[in-house]
Amino acid sequence: MKKDKLMPIGKLTKVKDTLPPPEELIIPDRTVKVTLRLSEDSIKFFKHYANKYHTKYQAMIRRVVDAYAERFIA
């Protein structure tokens, strides 16, 4: 029997949504340059809110990734 590689392994745990709203994604930080491919819809979302709050969409994406990492550091 072939196992589906996309199926979860082990016990699943629900994770609380701790991502900040778009207006809280505007915080300067020290950064490292990386290359990342994202979906077109995600980029449209961040560009829309970046334009609305007069900031850069890359900074907002960086803040989301930082918030995710902070949630699991400890």
Dump pLDDT digits (tens) for 15-59: 777 788 887 777 666 788 999 999 999 999 999 999 999 999 998
pTM score: 0.60
Q: Within 13 Å and on the Cβ side, how many CA atoms surround 66?
A: 16
Contact 19, 68 (CB under 8 A): yes
Instruction: Output the CA torsion 71→47→29→21 (10° steps).
Output: -40
